[in-house]
Amino acid sequence: MSSTTLQLAVIIASVREGRFGPVVSAWFAEQARRHRSFEVDVIDLAEVPLPLELPSTPPALDPNMQRPASMAELTRRLAVADAYVIVTPDYNRSIPASLKAAIDWHFSQWDAKTIGFVGYSGASGGLLAIEHLRQIFNELNAHTVRNYVSFPRFFELFDAEGRLHEPDGPAAAATAMLDQLHWWASALAAARSPQPVG
């Protein structure tokens, strides 16, 4: 891929012991690599300390906000991404607290970027978390794409090696979402560029 290849960060939202998130994210990251339109970076929030105590000045009002040094690498990886796909379960009809903390510790990193979702859980397949994320990212001036991937009753869909029993439908859903993400990521990267167009 060229140095101008768009960057996609795939974010594993859940951090609990025994979580299923890495299985879903590994499947999606493979779909994203096969799509060949992004350089793919998988960010595992379980590897980052995410304190709940934010600084006194909200990130929106402080472009130079100080974060814990242990968060610097996460911040760098979020900042270079042109697009994100968040892999999230429903936790009590919403998102895991780990993901909300990671979002709230940042601000400009999400600005004018595009975001897609892969959800999984019981009956709702992550859709309740995804709908909350659309509201959250609207506040952060990010564009969430229409298409998504959802795995209701995820525990029946994957084998012990993390392969889907019936992969074609989810693969088509991932491709449709990645197509939309690529369109928006290209448009927003050009719009964010300080270079005049043309």
Ligand X SMILES: Cc1cc2nc3c(=O)[nH]c(=O)nc-3n(C[C@H](O)[C@H](O)[C@H](O)COP(=O)(O)O)c2cc1C
**Residues found near ligand X in the complex (CB under 6 A):** 14, 16, 19-21, 89-93, 121-124
- 16-21 long-range CB contacts below 8 Å, 24 or more apart? 16/96, 19/46, 20/89, 20/120, 20/154, 20/155, 21/87, 21/88, 21/89
Cβ closest to ligand X, residue 37 vs residue 121: 121
Shortest distance, CB of residue 19 to ligand X, whole angstroms? 3
CB distance 180 to 188 below 8 Å: no
Shortest distance, CB of residue 52 to ligand X, whole angstroms? 16
Return the residue nearest ligand X (CB atom).
Answer: 122
Shortest distance, CB of residue 45 to ligand X, whole angstroms? 11
Burial class (CB in 10 A: 0-12, 13-18, 19+), 168: exposed
CA distance 176 to 170: 10
Shortest distance, CB of residue 131 to ligand X, whole angstroms? 12
Cβ closest to ligand X, residue 7 vs residue 94: 94
Cβ closest to ligand X, residue 76 vs residue 153: 153
Cβ closest to ligand X, residue 25 vs residue 37: 25
CB distance 14 to 6 below 8 Å: no
Shortest distance, CB of residue 98 to ligand X, whole angstroms? 9
CA distance 109 to 141: 10
CA distance 196 to 198: 7
Shortest distance, CB of residue 95 to ligand X, whole angstroms? 10
**Helical segments of the chain, H only:** 21-35, 72-80, 97-104, 127-139, 168-192
Cβ closest to ligand X, residue 20 vs residue 105: 20
Cβ closest to ligand X, residue 14 vs residue 109: 14
